[in-house]
Amino acid sequence: MKAVILAGGLGTRLRPLTFSMPKPLIPMAGPPMVRHIIDPLPKEVDTVILAVSYMKDLLERYFRENDVGRDIILINEDEPMGTGGALKNVSKWLDDTFFAFNGDVICSIDLTTMLEVHKAHRGIGTMALWPVSDPSAFGVAATDDLGRITTFQEKPPKGKELSNKINAGAYIFEPALLDHISEGVVSLEREVFPHILHRSLYGYTFDGYWIDAGTRENFLCAQHILLDRGQSNTCGIDNYPTGVRVIGNNLIETDYLEPSTIGPNVYVENGAKVCRGATISNSLIMEGAIIGNRATVLNCMVGPGAIVDDGVTISDEILA
Ligand code: GTP
């Protein structure tokens, strides 16, 4: 079985970090974000097709250098073709039921159960749905008693939403869906879903967690969930050096760690430097970054090689 990951977006909301790396490769609680989609795939998924465009060379290099336990096919779009156009572009590989994912969705869907439910319904597709209190900024799906989607509204005006369930960006489709996507730049959400409801598109509501990690706040929130779930206070080095105070769950890989206060929810990648008296919380500190003496970093993504000068406080920023 195949899974398609839409990974060709520009990631504008994570700039300037995404000026130098594609969003799927930003490390999240250890591995690049895209691995949090690939690794939990059910074992029957033997091939992952990445629909790429922006910075495809870096993605190619990552998958050449890292064995992820499945066959990887990277398909390039010269210009981003939109979420629907990207699927159409890989259609020659899709001759059976397949998974499809937005590349920045971090969630707890049980994909094996979702697949069983999809097969039992025998519709053209199944869309994972996530309940929220304010759905207006998302794709909103209303379903009937059988779970069939009766209306799909992409980002409806506030107050006009017909349901509180939003499109979670994780799908199972039959190849027949591809016949409903025209050539060129196409949005699945705006130009396809509203027009295929008569072919029986089902919703699959799940619980646990769901985050669209495409903004700094959401990225750090996803990191937090992953650190809390798996890695309570993991130190990649043998022991925290004397004087390092650690709060909550973190992942610290660097061995350049002077007496400082770290946590909660901090991932310090290997090769970063944390200098004396620094304070870091709710942040990602990437390889080669330097957090200076007595510097304070709150709610930030600090890109590779970025420097926070001695004594400086930064909060709610992306640095690259
Ligand atoms: P922003 O610019 O910050 O909105 O991020 P983005 O470019 O990733 O857009 P968005 O978050 O709306 O995209 C959702 C998912 O679809 C992401 O995983 C994108 O990589 C992917 N995506 C969006 N547009 C395209 C496209 O034209 N081609 C491909 N292959 N993937 C796309």
Which residues does 194 contact at the CB level (< 8 Å), separation at least 6? 152, 153, 154
pLDDT in tens, 272-307: 999 999 999 999 999 999 999 999 999 999 999 999
pLDDT digits (tens, 9 = 90+) for 58-98: 999 999 999 999 999 999 998 889 999 999 999 999 999 99
Sign of CA dihedral 214, 218, 224, 226: negative
What are the chain's domains? 2-212 (3.90.550.10), 232-320 (2.160.10.10)
Whether the CB of 6 sits within 6 Å of ligand 1? yes
**Alpha-carbon span 221 to 232, nearest angstrom:** 15
Active-site residue 23, yes or no? Answer: no
Q: Identify whether the C-beta of residue 111 lies closer than 8 Å to the C-beta of residue 14.
A: no
In single-letter form, the type of residue at position 283 comes to: S
Residue 254: how many other CB atoms lie within 10 Å:
19
Model confidence over 110-146: pLDDT tens digits?
Answer: 999 999 999 999 999 999 999 999 998 899 999 999 9
Q: Which helix (H) or strand (E) element contains residue 36?
A: helix 35-38
Is-contact 151 161, C-beta < 8 A?
A: no
Separation of CA 235 and ligand 1 centre (Å): 33
Residue pair 161/56 in contact (Cβ under 8 Å)? The answer is no
pLDDT (mean) for 251-265: 93
- Which of the 8 DSSP states describes residue 288? T
* Ligand 1 pocket member 223 (CB < 6 A): no
Query: What distance in Å separates the CA atoms of residue 230 and residue 129, rounded to the nearest whole number?
Result: 25
Of 88, 155, 158, 273, which one is the catalytic site residue?
A: 155
Phi-psi region of 274 (alpha: psi -120 to 50; beta: other; left: phi over 0): beta
Nearest-angstrom CA–CA distance, 52 and 310? 39
Whether 305 is in the pocket of ligand 1, judged by its Cβ within 6 Å, is no
> Cβ of 274: how many Cβ atoms within 10 Å?
29
Question: What is d(CA 301, CA 311) in angstroms, rounded to the nearest whole number?
Answer: 18
Alpha carbon separation from 230 to 14, 28, 31, 221 (Å, rounded): 25, 12, 13, 14
* Residue 135 Cβ < 6 Å to ligand 1: no
> pLDDT tens for residues 142-168?
999 999 999 999 899 999 989 999 999
Whole-structure pTM value:
0.92
